[in-house]
Structure 1
Amino acid sequence: MTQAKQDNADERRRRLLKGALATSSVMTLGYGGPLAAASLSCIAKIDGGYPTGTNQFFIGAAPPATPGGGNWAWKMVEVNRYQSNGNGVIDGFEVDGNVYRADNPEVLISAAIPKPNGSGDYPKKAWLLVYFDPDGIEAGTYPTYTVQGEGFTPAVSSCLTSINPGIVANYGFGG
């Protein structure tokens, strides 16, 4: 017959510490893992395109409100006057070193030369839809970047905030 273990203070302390450490590590992994995974895939879960019924370019003092209460990311650009070969003086905006027509944003202005604006109406504020990768990093703006596939989509402010809390201050949000 074996004798029962002596229940002394050292043994009790060891069991208490062992139990506390085991519980702590299980809870940290259990709650932290899914939250991190949800944040990283947030942008990839957005519907895969820009907000329906909304243009990706908008001229106005503030970013446009989007249908359905969406709060999409917009980047401000300035619309100025440009002289173009064969087109005379037209309104345009610059993205990634290219100048695009304000009345048809996907059309490049060839040989665009900035022209003095002349009146108090210029420069005008305009807004471009911003695209992000799944890590919340800006991938590009319309019209040079229009990938609407999973993982590279426009994003709502709550999605960007969950990934990178400081990013929202850099973009205008409609809604």
Structure 2
Amino acid sequence: MQNDPEVAVLRFGHRPGRDDRMTTHVGLTARALGADRVILPDNAGQSLETIRDITTRFGGPFEAELDDSQPATIRDWDGRVVHLTMYGERVQDVEGEVRAAHRDAAEPLLVVVGGEKVPFEVYDEADWNVGVTNQPHSEVAGLAVFLDRLFEGRELDREWRDAEQVVVPEATGKTVVAPEDVED
């Protein structure tokens, strides 16, 4: 997020046809809730295009890319690694430590979100294995909660640049306008 060290989200694994929507939502959630980029498996090109299209229409900065060697990306990451898993330590028990390592030590953070069975090596490579509720649920929900805890809600006031469209917040209705048509 702006003025913080980089936060990248790595979608580990993707089953075409089965995971398309979920992988796309991992990327969109990463973008909307403060990450700087998403790294997708090399077989998730359709998700990549959707995420790039949303970024073009609703603003950035945000990057989306494909990766053909996710284990190597984790292993070679120049910073700290958080693996989101229902088997990990409770998010409320480690969020302060993760936040301090990210913000105070100015280290980039890689957040790994599994898409299929994650090999044990990912658990070993991670600095933190973090669980949101330690119950089965959507990896998108886990990512959203984790990013909100990491940024302490600051991501909700993020400024978006170079948007072609802006959603106008309102109690009812759906209004989307060009940025120059937004009233202050």
Please tell me the TM-score bracket, short chain as reference: under 0.3
Superposition TM-score, scaled by structure 2 size: 0.23
Considering fraction of residues, name the structure with more helix.
Answer: 2
Superposition TM-score, scaled by structure 1 size: 0.23
